[in-house]
Amino acid sequence: MIKAPAVLTIDIGSSSARAAIYDSSGEPVPQCEGRVRYEMRVSQDGGVEADPERLAEAVETAIDHALACPGTSDAQLAGVGVSCFWHSLLGIDSSGRATTPVYTWEDTRSAPMVEALREQFDESEVHARTGCRFHSSYFPAKLLWLRETGKDSFPRSARWLGFGEYFLGRLFGRHLSSHSMASGTGLYLQNARSWDAELLDFLDLDAARFAPFAAPGESLRGLRAPYDTRWPKLAPLPWFPALGDGACSNIGTGCTSPERLALMIGTSGALRVLREAERVEIPAGLWCYRADERRFLLGGALSNGGLLFSWLRERLQLGDPSELEEKLAAEPADGHGLTFLPFLAGERSMGWHSEARAAIAGLRVSTRAIEILRAGLEAVALGCAEIAEAIRSTTPGVREVVCSGGGLLHSRTWIGIMADALACPVLVSAEEEGSSRGAALKALEQLGIIRDVREIPAHTGETVPFDPGRAAVYARARERRLELYRMLVGER
């Protein structure tokens, strides 16, 4: 039975868009979902981008499918929440038309601009106030790259947006940014909740070139044509500005306090802890974003998570993942003797080297393909262990690690490797769509239907234990990995 009222959520990811309905208890309404998959355009020079029009049309189609589902007619909708992938950037002209593609965090073409930024600014000072290192994932490097190489797109762009603001602007003719989305740009002052004037001056921009911040609880209302007739049920409802998908994932999987560390492995990966505070001191090596005006998100990110698993499986011709589980489980911890730097798509946490590339040391004539795969999965886990250690040093109250993400949950062996590398048990999330559910809970909170997102617990599954002996093996492997890192990539 649907517990009224309900909310529609739109979850815009890097590979698919999902629209779904959740009731006021945070449960998904059966048969009320639409999903559209897509692929980003990838180029040999490091480009990873999307056509804004086509991406928006995919999201719109997902909404169409959700509203056409049989159960939707029984749902009493009260509002719309949106989750969107962080760090996307595109320009629009004065009429709202896109002047650039959507550049994603994976696009590394702006990497050469990172050194220019480091020469101009004290990176540690910028990180302390923005929560972001200089890196191709963030706006400063991308905007500088566009200013230097983007021909006429930079001067033609009246405003710079994330895709979430662009999409809602199509529907309402008005752009509005959450503090959550702005906090992932690298141009936002985390404690002051405003744009960084020094960085904007350097980029020859001002705050008016970005979407204004939404006030607490502010929403967009009144869909414009043709969306008002396309979705009449949604036309009068409040639509809340998009929130960062990572923040929504923490909320949706129940990682809403400093006691719970969220571990997510999809195509990429992240470890995040949510804390409520007036202000925060941002530790070196980690990033800091916001979930909303009062909740900070501290963590680290991996560019290579499930991406590495898929790449190795395909390149080594190892077959279907389900067929590999028994073989992976039979391999001893670090028994291959390999040291693997898994930077297929560059590095984010902890060193933030966009130009870093993958490397394997210790290969022998006898090395087997399954050993290389196991070494790759262990390498991702060792990177997670580094991030977790840094988070625990600033958030000593962490007591549980909750894992989620399709890249990880399909392999019980990989979860066990994670537990051993982290030297702690890992609780498996039973929430299949953490970001979508998190957007729903935030919408329910903003509507006043629930007092706080923490009052509705998330579903969890089994707890995967760790083995102290294997944990000690992985601690030694981390030292070997760090030595190779210093030789090939450099100091952090």
Taking the C-alpha atoms of residue 328 and residue 315, their distance in angstroms, rounded to an integer, is 17
**Model confidence pLDDT, tens digit, residues 176-232:** 999 999 999 999 999 999 999 999 999 999 999 999 999 999 999 999 999 999 999
Determine contact, residues 447/216, Cβ cutoff 8 Å. no
- Give the 3-state secondary structure of residue 463: strand
Say if residue 234 is in the same domain as residue 321.
no
Please say which residue of 213, 245, 277 terminates a domain. 245
Please say which residue of 223, 245, 267 terminates a domain. 245
239 secondary structure, DSSP code = B
In a domain, 129, yes or no: yes
Considering the chain, what percentage of its residues have pLDDT values greater than 70? 100
Query: Rounded to the nearest 5 degrees, what angle is found at the Cα of 465, between the Cα atoms of 246 and 438?
Result: 20
Flag the least confident range among 71-85, 329-343, 431-445, 472-486. Answer: 71-85
Closest among 389, 439, 375, 446 to 22, alpha carbons compared: 439
Say if residue 101 is in the same domain as residue 144.
yes
pLDDT given for residue 319 in this prediction: 83
Range of 44's domain? 6-245
Query: Rounded to the nearest 5 degrees, what angle is found at the Cα of 21, between the Cα atoms of 18 and 24?
Result: 140
Q: What are the start-end ranges of the H helices in 320-452?
A: 321-330, 369-394, 406-409, 412-422, 434-447
Say if residue 219 is in the same domain as residue 291.
no
Q: How many residues comprise the chain?
A: 492
Say if residue 20 is in the same domain as residue 83.
yes
207-213 long-range contacts, CB within 8 A, separation 24+: 209/157, 209/158, 209/159, 209/160, 210/159, 210/160, 210/161, 210/177, 210/182, 211/159, 211/161, 211/165, 211/169, 211/175, 211/176, 211/177, 212/175, 212/176, 212/177, 213/176, 213/177, 213/178, 213/179, 213/182
- The average pLDDT across 414-418 equals 98
Say if residue 340 is in the same domain as residue 224.
no
Distance (Å) of CA 114 to CA 109, 139, 299: 10, 11, 21
Say if residue 224 is in the same domain as residue 285.
no
Say if residue 302 is in the same domain as residue 328.
yes
Determine contact, residues 302/380, Cβ cutoff 8 Å. yes
- The average pLDDT across 428-435 equals 95
pLDDT given for residue 150 in this prediction: 80
Residue with structure tokens 């048990």?
Answer: 425
- The average pLDDT across 429-441 equals 96
Determine contact, residues 302/383, Cβ cutoff 8 Å. yes
pLDDT at 412 over 70: yes
Say if residue 318 is in the same domain as residue 225.
no
Say if residue 313 is in the same domain as residue 167.
no
In a domain, 265, yes or no: yes
pLDDT given for residue 470 in this prediction: 98
pLDDT at 420 over 80: yes
**Model confidence pLDDT, tens digit, residues 285-324:** 899 999 999 999 999 999 999 999 999 999 999 987 778 9
Say if residue 204 is in the same domain as residue 269.
no
Q: How far is CA 355 from the centre of its chain?
A: 20
Burial bucket for residue 280 (CB in 10 Å: 0-12, 13-18, 19+): middle
For 37-57, b where at least 16 C-beta lie within 10 A, e where not — what string? ebebeeeeebbbbbebeebbe
pLDDT given for residue 224 in this prediction: 97
In a domain, 400, yes or no: yes
pLDDT averaged over every residue in the chain = 95
The domain tally of the chain equals: 2
Q: What are the start-end ranges of the H helices in 69-189?
A: 112-120, 123-130, 139-149, 153-156, 163-172, 179-182
- The average pLDDT across 31-40 equals 94
In a domain, 333, yes or no: yes
Determine contact, residues 24/447, Cβ cutoff 8 Å. no
In a domain, 470, yes or no: yes
C-beta neighbour count of 407 within 10 angstroms: 21
pLDDT given for residue 152 in this prediction: 87
Considering the chain, what percentage of its residues have pLDDT values greater than 90? 90
In a domain, 401, yes or no: yes
Greater confidence, 10 or 353? 10
Please say which residue of 222, 245, 268 terminates a domain. 245
Say if residue 356 is in the same domain as residue 470.
yes
pLDDT given for residue 479 in this prediction: 97
Say if residue 234 is in the same domain as residue 269.
no
pLDDT at 1 over 70: no
pLDDT at 491 over 90: no
* CATH code of the domain containing 96: 3.30.420.40
Distance (Å) of CA 331 to CA 195, 231, 382, 411: 50, 53, 17, 14
pLDDT at 4 over 90: no
Taking the C-alpha atoms of residue 78 and residue 444, their distance in angstroms, rounded to an integer, is 9
pLDDT given for residue 178 in this prediction: 98
Taking the C-alpha atoms of residue 299 and residue 262, their distance in angstroms, rounded to an integer, is 9
**Model confidence pLDDT, tens digit, residues 364-393:** 999 999 999 999 999 999 999 999 999 999
Residue type, position 64, single letter: D
pLDDT at 167 over 70: yes
In a domain, 236, yes or no: yes
Residues 6+ apart with CB under 8 A from 136: 46, 107, 108, 109, 110, 111, 113, 114, 142, 346, 354
In a domain, 162, yes or no: yes
Angle between helix 321-330 and helix 412-422 axes, rounded to 10 deg:
40
pLDDT given for residue 220 in this prediction: 98
